[in-house]
Amino acid sequence: MNHRPEHPGVCFVTSRTTTANRPLQEVAKATIEGGCDLLQVREKDLPGGPLLTLAREIVEVAKPRGARCRVVVNDRLDVALAAKAAGVHLPADGLSIDQARRAAGKRFVIGRSVHSIVEARQAQKDGADYLFFGPVFETPSKTAFGPPQGPDALRKIVEAVRIPVWAIGGITPATAARLRGIAIAGVAAISFIAAAPDPADAVRALRSALSG
């Protein structure tokens, strides 16, 4: 994952409760066909067994695209490893990066959610491969993490570290367009993609908004 990609990417963060009753695997497949670069399986309420089954199915769906769409699992390192996912995404208060690295090895992708420059620099120092920063814009799903931080705060995070930074929180084509000119790895969206009539089109719309 290059720090300053020529074309910022799109990450789909799953939420099976917002897919308009469609199977999550079907929505995930559509996002991958639409050119999704990163897919985070984030179903916090699912027990280990069902989560592993779901993660394995999504990893299989992504295989035809090879390394073009990496699948990571939120928080659950054990599930990520068992599902043969590309990596794990650690919440800000989750497992330490060092613990994850020792268990998973060098080739495993380890991401971390951060909400400040201090956290971002620490995660980089600890060996994170990429960061999620947010909420950048207003969003119901991230109210627990405080008010939106805005594009200026995002820019400062990007400038403070050398590893890729993804923007999350209230991402739509209109808000993504406001991030042009900031050297982000891309944007991560939950409901805008999951609830879209055509998730593949939603991914393409975000990519188009980023490139201008």
Catalytic residue among 15, 16, 29, 42: 42
φ, ψ dihedrals at 88, nearest 5°: -130, 145
65 flagged as catalytic: no
Q: Give the CA dihedral 17, 19, 21, 26, nearest 10 degrees.
A: -120
Q: Residue 208 catalytic? A: no
Question: What is the per-residue pLDDT across 27-75, written as a single tens digit (0 to 9) for each?
Answer: 999 999 999 999 999 999 999 999 999 999 999 999 987 778 999 999 9
pLDDT (0 to 100) of residue 144: 65
Exposure pattern of 183-200 as b/e (b: 16+ CB <10 Å)?
ebbbbbbbbbbbbbeebb
Distance CA 72, CA 77 (A): 9
Residue 95 and residue 113 in contact, taking contact as beta carbons nearer than 8 Å: no
Query: Any catalytic annotation for residue 113?
Result: yes
User: What is the mean pLDDT of the segment spanning 189-193?
Assistant: 97
Q: Which domains does the chain have, with CATH numbers?
A: 9-211 (3.20.20.70)
- Kindly name the residue from 70, 113, 191, 207 that is annotated as catalytic: 113
State the pLDDT at residue 67: 75
H helix intervals, 6-149: 24-33, 48-62, 77-82, 97-104, 117-126
Give me the percent of the chain exceeding a pLDDT of 70.
95
For residue 125, with 0-12 CB atoms within 10 Å meaning exposed, 13-18 middle and 19 or more buried, which class applies?
exposed
Whether the predicted pLDDT of 147 surpasses 90? no
Q: Facing residues of 83 across strands?
A: none
Q: Is the pLDDT of residue 4 over 70?
A: no
The 10s digit of each residue's pLDDT in 69-100 is 999 999 999 999 999 999 999 999 999 999 99
Quick one: CA dihedral 178, 163, 128, 149, positive or negative?
A: negative
Q: Which of 16, 76, 112, 142 is catalytic?
A: 142
